[in-house]
Amino acid sequence: MAIQIIMDANGDSRHEFDRFDLESVAQAEQRFQELTGKGFTAATRKGPGEIDLVRAFDPTAEETLFFPRLVGG
């Protein structure tokens, strides 16, 4: 199972999906598009302490983290 983790003001929420189930992948891709469309940054974990920022949905990523844009002041 792959997982999408969404960080926000309330903490985090986790959404697992089966990358071998087309409906599950479609829902995960829709979630990716919605979140990045709202300004969230997406990153995938490559290894311990290593991440890559991503601009497109990757159904093979085991873990994708979404975090909101930081606003300076």
Domain ranges of the chain: 2-67
pLDDT digits (tens, 9 = 90+) for 12-45: 999 999 999 999 999 999 999 999 999 999 999 8
Q: Which CATH number is correct for 2-67, 2.30.30, 3.10.20, 3.40.50, 3.30.450?
A: 3.10.20
Selected residue with higher pLDDT from 18 and 70:
18
For 25, residues 6+ apart whose C-beta sits below 8 A from its C-beta are 17, 18, 19, 59
pLDDT at 72: 64
Note every long-range contact of 40-49, with CB atoms under 8 Å and residues 24 or more positions apart, other chains counting: 40/6, 40/66, 40/67, 40/68, 40/69, 41/66, 41/67, 41/68, 41/69, 42/66, 43/67
Q: Which tokens is 9 given?
A: 């003001």
pTM of this prediction?
0.89
